[in-house]
Amino acid sequence: MNPELKQRLTASETWRRGLFIVIFAVIYSIAEVVLVAVVVFQFLATLFTGETNARLRAFALSLAAFIYQIVAYVTFNSDEKPFPFGPWPESRSLLPPVLSSPSSD
């Protein structure tokens, strides 16, 4: 066996990353369910009250950033581990601004 290949196959850092990828794949699946619940609740809140829930919007924005961080990590586009191994993303410093109120289309 090629010594370089053997070294890569036995590198503990790569296997550790693989373990974190599996962990974050499970967390991602849970985050998807939470995202669907947020979307449904926000839709119902808008339907019945005529306006969105600002705290839920802020949470949804940070959840979207969290999901982005997971995808970036598992695709090797980032070496920073997302929450719970890093800080939870703050909604204020992320993504473009959201609407202040729903449009009346």
74 φ, ψ to 5°?
Answer: -70, -20
The predicted structure's pLDDT at residue 15: 93
The predicted structure's pLDDT at residue 96: 52
The predicted structure's pLDDT at residue 12: 87
pLDDT in tens, the chain (105 residues): 788 888 888 888 999 999 999 999 999 999 999 999 999 999 999 999 999 999 999 999 999 999 999 999 999 999 999 999 999 988 665 555 555 444 444
Burial class (CB in 10 A: 0-12, 13-18, 19+), 66: buried
Task: Please give the model's pTM, rounded to 2 decimal places.
Answer: 0.80
Q: Are 91 and 58 in contact (CB under 8 A)?
A: yes
86 φ, ψ to 5°?
Answer: -140, 180
Question: Nearest-CA neighbor of 85 among 17, 30, 37, 36?
Answer: 17
